[in-house]
Amino acid sequence: MLKTIIIDGMSFALPLFIMAIGGIYSEKSGIINLALEGLQGFGAFGGALFAVLAIQFLGLDGRTTYYLALVVAMLSGMLYSMLHGLLCIKFKADQVISGVVINILALALTTFLTKQINKGVFNNPSDKFVLDVSDRITIPFLSQIPIIGGFFSKIYPFEIIIVVISIIAWYILYRTRYGLHLRACGENPNSADAAGIDVAKTRFIAVLFSGALSGLAGISFAYSISTNFSAGLFVGYGYLSIAALIFGNWTIIPTLGACLLFGFAKSTGFQVIQILKLPSSYSNLIMVLPYLLTLLLLVFFSKSNRAPKALGEIYDKGKR
Q: What is the pLDDT, as a whole number, of residue 65?
A: 92
Candidates 159, 157, 154; CA nearest to 65 is 157
Quickly list DSSP for 192-238.
HHHTT--HHHHHHHHHHHHHHHHHHHHHHHIIIIISEEEGGGGTTHH
CB-count burial class (<10 Å; 0-12, 13-18, 19+) for 20? buried
What would the mean pLDDT of 27-47 be, rounded to a whole number? 97
Q: What share of the chain is helix, strand, coil (3-state, %, to 5)?
A: 75, 0, 20
Q: What pTM did the predictor assign?
A: 0.94
Measured CA to CA, the distance from residue 241 to residue 214 in angstroms comes to 10
pLDDT at 219 over 70: yes
Mean of per-residue pLDDT scores for the chain: 90
pLDDT at 47 over 90: yes
Q: What is the pLDDT, as a whole number, of residue 271?
A: 80
Quickly list DSSP for 155-191.
B-HHHHHHHHHHHHHHHHHHHSHHHHHHHHHHH-HHH
Question: Are the beta carbons of 23 and 209 closer than 8 angstroms?
Answer: no
Question: Are the beta carbons of 68 and 48 closer than 8 angstroms?
Answer: no
Q: Give the model's confidence band at 45: pLDDT under 50 very low, under 70 low, under 90 confident, else very high.
A: very high
pLDDT at 109 over 60: yes
pLDDT at 284 over 70: no
Q: What is the pLDDT, as a whole number, of residue 286?
A: 67
Amino acid at 86: L
pLDDT at 153 over 70: yes
Residues ≥6 apart with Cβ < 8 Å to 174? none
Q: Give the model's confidence band at 58: pLDDT under 50 very low, under 70 low, under 90 confident, else very high.
A: confident
Measured CA to CA, the distance from residue 174 to residue 106 in angstroms comes to 32
Measured CA to CA, the distance from residue 94 to residue 102 in angstroms comes to 12
Candidates 1, 7, 68, 11; CA nearest to 217 is 11
What would the mean pLDDT of 45-70 be, rounded to a whole number? 90
